[in-house]
């Protein structure tokens, strides 16, 4: 059985950075599941068809890290048929040997509820907005409003809302350096026998 690490949390919390570092450290496969939703939203047209026909080229688009793609992802993620189309893809990915790290918003609660390690990575709204603004060269005040709107939509959706799994370890990165956050995550995986 592959070793699965599920990492959930809101945008700009550090979950992607931590997920990539864990995958590299342990030699596991990594999937940023948000890219699936970003690519689906960015394709345009019928979102269900877009989700069903995703391919590698769609996931390599250079515009998937934009704020617009993030908002589009949040909108299509509220559609149950889109989520269903992408769930199988994610679960198949998670079953790769020797293990996989998946980061997103419902990995520990829906996609891989039996994951060996579940982390919920978070940070204050202001810290997340400042991080995303620096990353995108955008206004921090505008980013704060966009992140809060996205958090609200992701947390209130009927299907697979953003929330920590009951058995997830919450990792608040607000006052941590990247190295400190990664070290804490590695320690959690080591404790679980990764």
pLDDT, one tens digit per residue, over 70-98 is 888 888 988 989 989 999 889 989 999 99
Q: What is the largest CA-CA distance in the chain?
A: 45
For 104-138, what is each residue's pLDDT tens digit? 989 999 999 999 999 999 999 999 999 999 988 88
In angstroms, the CA 122 to CA 8 distance is 9
Q: Please, what is the average pLDDT of the chain?
A: 92
**Per-residue pLDDT tens digits for 18-59:** 999 999 999 999 999 989 999 999 998 999 999 999 887 898
Residues facing residue 29 across a β-bridge: 100
Strands laid side by side in the 169-172 sheet: 29-32, 99-104, 3-8, 117-122, 169-172
Residue 194 pLDDT > 70, yes or no? no
Instruction: Residue 34: count other Cβ atoms within 10 Å of its Cβ.
Output: 21
């Amino acid at each position: 059985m592959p070793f699965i690490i599920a990492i959930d949390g809101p945008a700009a919390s550090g979950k992607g950075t931590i997920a990539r570092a864990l995958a590299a450290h342990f030699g596991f496969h990594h999937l940023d599941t948000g890219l699936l939703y970003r690519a689906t939203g960015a394709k345009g047209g019928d979102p269900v068809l877009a989700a069903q026909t995703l391919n590698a080229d769609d996931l390599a688009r250079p515009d998937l890290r934009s704020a617009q793609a993030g908002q589009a992802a949040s909108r299509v993620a509220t559609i149950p048929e889109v989520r269903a189309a992408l769930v199988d893809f994610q679960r198949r990915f998670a079953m790769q040997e020797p293990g996989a790290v998946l980061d997103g918003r419902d990995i520990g609660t829906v996609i891989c509820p039996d994951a060996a390690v579940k982390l919920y990575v978070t940070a204050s709204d202001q810290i997340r907005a400042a991080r995303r603004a620096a990353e995108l060269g955008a206004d921090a005040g505008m980013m704060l409003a966009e992140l809060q709107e996205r958090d609200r939509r992701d947390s209130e959706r009927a299907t697979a809302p953003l929330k920590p799994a009951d058995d997830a370890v919450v990792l608040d990165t607000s006052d941590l350096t990247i190295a400190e956050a990664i070290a804490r995550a590695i320690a959690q995986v080591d404790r679980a026998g990764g």
